[in-house]
Amino acid sequence: MDQLTVLEYLIFGIIIWLALLTFYTLRVIGHYRKLTRGAGNIDLGKVLENLFEKQDFQARKITEIASVVSKNQAQAQGHIQKYALMRFNPFEDAGGDQSFVIALLDAKDNGVVISSLHSRNGTRVYAKSVTGAKAASHQFTKEEKEAVDKAVGKK
């Protein structure tokens, strides 16, 4: 009777072992099918080669895109990024704040200041270049200096 029980335990152990092997084999086959889905009758090696080729292609595209973005960022430094508009009354006898100053600057605080002085006799417009938030060639009026400082403060 003891031999029969040992044999029964051995058979029971083999059945459990076969069940575990079957379970893992089915999992591996399912995983393999998932990897090769849509690939037709191509083996796993070809599928992996295709994946590596796609990965290399995408890496090249990402490098190209990063280059374009870097170039655009460098160009954007020269675009108008800061501005300020101030209205004021330069003359005692003229009513209202008809005169104005506008400062238009890029990321490096270079740009232009445009002033318009309105009086009863007419309106005059002046433009001065700005380099590094300072007057490039002509001195700023008080209002122009305020406009540039206000624009620089809008970082």
Q: Quick: pLDDT tens for 86-132.
A: 998 877 766 677 889 999 999 899 999 999 988 878 889 999 999 99
Structure confidence by residue, pLDDT tens digits, 15-45: 999 999 999 999 998 888 887 777 667 777 7
Does 140 or 119 have the greater pLDDT score? Answer: 140
Quickly state the pLDDT bin for 61 (edges 50, 70, 90). very high
Does 48 or 104 have the greater pLDDT score? Answer: 104
Side by side, the strands of the sheet bearing 111-119 are 82-88, 99-105, 111-119, 122-131, 134-135
The whole-model pTM stands at: 0.59
Q: What is the pLDDT of residue 155?
A: 47
Q: What is the pLDDT of residue 45?
A: 77
Quickly state the pLDDT bin for 50 (edges 50, 70, 90). confident
Quickly state the pLDDT bin for 78 (edges 50, 70, 90). confident
Per DSSP (E only), the strands in the chain are 82-88, 99-105, 111-119, 122-131, 134-135
52-59 long-range contacts, CB within 8 A, separation 24+ = none
Contact 106, 95 (CB under 8 A): no
